A and B are shown apart, each in its own frame.
Chain A
Amino acid sequence: MKQSYSQVRCFLLSLFVLLSLSLAGCWSSNEIEEVSLGVGLAFDKGMESKVERELREKGGGYPKKDLITTTFQIINPQASGAGTRGGGAAQQKPYLNVSETGDSVHQIVREFSLRTDRPFVSQHLKVIVFGEDLVRRISLEPLTDQMLRDNQIRPSSLILISKGRASETLETKKGGEVPAFRLHGIVDNQYRSTRIMPPMSLAKLEGKIQSGSSFMLQNVIAANREIKFAGAAVIKGRTNKLIGFLNETELEGIMWITGKGSKGGVVKSFDKQTEQLIVYEIKSMKSKITPRVNGSNISFDVNIESEGRLSEDWVESGDPFDNEFLKRAEKAAEEEVNRLVHHVTKKMQNEYITDVAGFGNQLRIEHPKLWEKVKADWDQIFSKVPIKYNVKLTITDYGTLGSKK
């Protein structure tokens, strides 16, 4: 009996020792300080960087076509750690950008492991920016293939297009700022502007690519290491390639048509009588696209309704206490919205011959059988379809400033 007791003790002791060994770590663990945390990716038309050329001249390289240049934005752990302590390392940027050229998205990432001791980890990727030149040439479908297959890259990553080099949007002047986070953060400003599209994540992009319908992606431009969200890129559904851009006001027009713009945006218009400035702040925006089908004729009625506030008024005689004046202000704003939507409709129908405002989607919902017939060349049909707009804006209040002397 005693012996068996000591046997048990021996067993427990060896178990203790063996199990302690497993505490040392997980099977395929990677220490967080020893990986490169990627937060942003930019894809551009292939253009070898200076370092790459020198490396190649010294014999580094493999058979490839220089189709794509990928720029990785990596968090620099030393600098960002020191930055929070407010130490002397403020000069150091909290991020690093590394470029690599090649023809396969995945191979480019792997090639990166030959150049640094910290392998690239993309589980915390926030933003993917595609350069205009690349997406004009190569369809988004092959470009996103690897990312949609991957188990690390999250389908929640935000997709943007850059008119110009995409890698430039991953630069900043400010000391402690990480450009990828800034891009990601601007999307949250939707409550302040109607010129920011609802975010398009990688997962949603896949649906758009597969659907064969044309769509838009937010465009971001860079100048002198500063960036701005500037309108949208138009992606043709059949080819999934970029065919052009809509500028800021055109995007605003689209947002009015779709009713997707959120409150907080403004409409700047001019009073008819005095030619003075009046600003309408949007409190709500609603839009209903109604397809009308008559035989083989398709037409659309769009009803846009909005409530808002008179938020700036340069008209000297303007008295918001007077309903007459409010009506005048409403009228001016309505005209401006009408101008916006008509302008962008013309551009979609005549210049791009592409429907990116979701008219086709409404037709699909209301007349699914007809849609099955027309969806193959919807963009063509759309370009000839009559569209009637009906804009109704209501000013409900005018803030804390009433009449003027």
Chain B
Amino acid sequence: MIARPEERITTPQAAVIVINYILGVTFLTLPRVTVEAVKTPDVWITVILGGLITMIAGVIMVKLSQRYPEKTFYQYSQEIAGKWVGGLLSLFTIIYFFSSSAYDARMLVEVTSYFLLEGTPSWALLMPFMWVGLYLIMGGINPIARLYEIIFPITLVIFTLVFFISFQIFEVDNLRPVLGLGVAPVLQGTKSTVLAYTGVEIMLIILAFMKQPNKAVQAVLIGTAVPMLFYVMTVVIVIGALSIDGVITRTWPTIDLIRSLEITGLLFERFESFFLVIWIMQIFSTFTITYYAAALGLAQLFQKDIHRCMFYLLPVIYIIAMTPKNINDLFTFADLVGDTALYLFGLLPLILLIVSRLKEGKHEAKL
């Protein structure tokens, strides 16, 4: 049903989708969240570790999806686990996707209304954002992928620029000693860093759209490695500049890093607007891909028209986004969504893969 030729994406496009999905909200909070868990300057090791674990999970998801060519998770989960269990799993996945898209939308409101557009009501920030998102995903996977291809290089350039500039307040002493208190603290923080990489699960769905599904492993590895690089640079420079004691108290440490320097003689003195612009683009891509994944799931699960599903979801996402009463509620909501992701995409694909292998084995034995 989805095999229309224009709905095909190339391998680099698949990788870019994964990259843009992973880079999102956590970008701004990662240094604090990880330092809270690790409490030593070894955070960057934890971030690499989290990336590697995510790569393994991503490869498992790809292997699972490759067994069912041309089919998305919503379709083959019923084949593996039966109509009811599979349907339920799909439903959970759909709920996960639109919840995380609601979370992204709300985060966008929180950050822009504090740092960029103070005084603008939240609905005025949220509605245009959601409408533009809707307009994009109505075109299907291909326009989404092409937009991400435009967003990604811009992100890369501005990010690199901003972080090279930040080197002027970088102090290497803040990152020392390496492994001073042993390996234990590093391992403690792994869960929080793995959560920063939620996004690889999109492979369960976009693999069905890939022109060359056999290259999906490459896509997922590159798609995780690039955010890993971004994340490592972020924690290294933020902690190098602000020290772990300074990071732990800041709500948005990465924004603070950029606000804590001024460059004279480089045309612009301040770079937080640039940085927030690329961040908003990243949030937009995370928001749209999760929105699309949820709508696609609804369409495939209930055999409905996908455009209708998108419109049905629009108010749902808005209401969920507006539900958390304060920023702590929002962070709790994020933890909930993150934990769901751990079970849904960390554990489940492995089980499904084993079940599917066993079933195949039985099937062959019967023959």
Q: Which residues of A contact B (CB under 8 A)?
A: 27-28, 148, 151, 154-156, 201-204, 206-208, 210-212, 361, 364-366, 368-369, 372
Partner of A210, one of B117, B245, B262: B245
Measured in the bound complex, the distance between the Cα atoms of B259 and A211 in whole Å is 21
Measured in the bound complex, the distance between the Cα atoms of B243 and A204 in whole Å is 8
Measured in the bound complex, the distance between the Cα atoms of B39 and A372 in whole Å is 12
B119 sits at the interface (CB 8 A): yes
Total contacting residues, chain B, CB less than 8 A: 32
Partner of A27, one of B40, B114, B120, B242: B120
Instruction: Assess whether A206 is in contact with B242, with CB atoms less than 8 Å apart.
Output: yes
B166: min CB distance to chain A, Å? 11
Q: Can you give 25 A-B contacts (C-beta < 8 A)? A: A27-B117, A27-B120, A28-B120, A154-B262, A154-B270, A155-B256, A155-B260, A156-B260, A201-B261, A203-B169, A203-B257, A204-B242, A206-B245, A207-B242, A207-B243, A207-B245, A208-B246, A210-B248, A210-B249, A211-B243, A212-B245, A364-B177, A364-B180, A365-B173, A369-B180
Instruction: Assess whether A156 is in contact with B249, with CB atoms less than 8 Å apart.
Output: no
Instruction: Assess whether B117 is in contact with A206, with CB atoms less than 8 Å apart.
Output: no
List residues of chain B with CB within 8 A of the CB of A365: 173, 176-177, 180
Instruction: Assess whether B177 is in contact with A28, with CB atoms less than 8 Å apart.
Output: no
Given A365-B176, A369-B181, check contact A156 B259 (CB 8 Å).
Answer: yes
Instruction: Assess whether A210 is in contact with B260, with CB atoms less than 8 Å apart.
Output: no
Instruction: Assess whether A206 is in contact with B114, with CB atoms less than 8 Å apart.
Output: no
B332: min CB distance to chain A, Å? 21
List residues of chain B with CB within 8 A of the CB of A211: 243, 245-246
Instruction: Assess whether A154 is in contact with B260, with CB atoms less than 8 Å apart.
Output: yes
**Which residue on chain B has the smallest CB distance to residue A155?**
B260
B241 sits at the interface (CB 8 A): yes
Scan B175-193; emit 1 where CB is below 8 A from any A CB, else 0: 0110011000000000000
8 closest A-B pairs by beta carbon, nearest first, are A207-B246, A368-B180, A28-B119, A203-B260, A207-B243, A210-B245, A155-B260, A211-B245
Measured in the bound complex, the distance between the Cα atoms of B182 and A372 in whole Å is 13
Residue of B169, B176, B181, B246 most packed against chain A (CB within 10 A): B246
Scan B247-291; emit 1 where CB is below 8 A from any A CB, else 0: 111100000110111100000001000000000000000000000
B167 sits at the interface (CB 8 A): no
**Which residue on chain A has the smallest CB distance to residue B176?**
A365
Instruction: Assess whether B246 is in contact with A206, with CB atoms less than 8 Å apart.
Output: yes
Instruction: Assess whether A154 is in contact with B177, with CB atoms less than 8 Å apart.
Output: no
Measured in the bound complex, the distance between the Cα atoms of B270 and A156 in whole Å is 10
**Which residue on chain A has the smallest CB distance to residue B248?**
A210
Partner of B241, one of A148, A203, A210, A366: A203
B305 sits at the interface (CB 8 A): no
List residues of chain A with CB within 8 A of the CB of B177: 364-366, 368
A205: min CB distance to chain B, Å? 8
B230 sits at the interface (CB 8 A): no
Instruction: Assess whether A151 is in contact with B256, with CB atoms less than 8 Å apart.
Output: no
Instruction: Assess whether B260 is in contact with A202, with CB atoms less than 8 Å apart.
Output: yes
Instruction: Assess whether A27 is in contact with B124, with CB atoms less than 8 Å apart.
Output: yes
Instruction: Assess whether A156 is in contact with B242, with CB atoms less than 8 Å apart.
Output: no
A94: min CB distance to chain B, Å? 19
B115 sits at the interface (CB 8 A): yes
List residues of chain A with CB within 8 A of the CB of B124: 27
Instruction: Assess whether A210 is in contact with B246, with CB atoms less than 8 Å apart.
Output: yes
B289: min CB distance to chain A, Å? 29
B339 sits at the interface (CB 8 A): no
Instruction: Assess whether B180 is in contact with A204, with CB atoms less than 8 Å apart.
Output: no
**Which residue on chain A has the smallest CB distance to residue B262?**
A156
A177: min CB distance to chain B, Å? 18
List residues of chain A with CB within 8 A of the CB of B246: 203-204, 206-208, 210-211
**Which residue on chain B has the smallest CB distance to residue A358?**
B173
A8: min CB distance to chain B, Å? 20
Instruction: Assess whether A203 is in contact with B115, with CB atoms less than 8 Å apart.
Output: no
List residues of chain B with CB within 8 A of the CB of A155: 256, 259-260
Partner of A201, one of B114, B119, B169: B169
Instruction: Assess whether A372 is in contact with B242, with CB atoms less than 8 Å apart.
Output: no
Instruction: Assess whether B114 is in contact with A203, with CB atoms less than 8 Å apart.
Output: no
List residues of chain B with CB within 8 A of the CB of A27: 117, 119-120, 124
B360 sits at the interface (CB 8 A): no
Measured in the bound complex, the distance between the Cα atoms of B178 and A368 in whole Å is 10
Measured in the bound complex, the distance between the Cα atoms of B169 and A366 in whole Å is 23
Given A156-B259, A202-B260, check contact A151 B249 (CB 8 Å).
Answer: no
Scan B87-129; emit 1 where CB is below 8 A from any A CB, else 0: 0000000000000000000000000001101111000100000
**Which residue on chain B has the smallest CB distance to residue A212?**
B245
**Which residue on chain B has the smallest CB distance to residue A151?**
B114
* Extra contacts besides A27-B124, A207-B247 (4): CB < 8 Å: A27-B119, A203-B257, A368-B181, A372-B181
**Which residue on chain B has the smallest CB distance to residue A213?**
B245
**Which residue on chain A has the smallest CB distance to residue B272?**
A154
Measured in the bound complex, the distance between the Cα atoms of B249 and A141 in whole Å is 12
List residues of chain B with CB within 8 A of the CB of A156: 259-262
Given A201-B169, A203-B241, A365-B177, check contact A28 B117 (CB 8 Å).
Answer: yes
Measured in the bound complex, the distance between the Cα atoms of B246 and A364 in whole Å is 17
List residues of chain A with CB within 8 A of the CB of B260: 154-156, 201-204
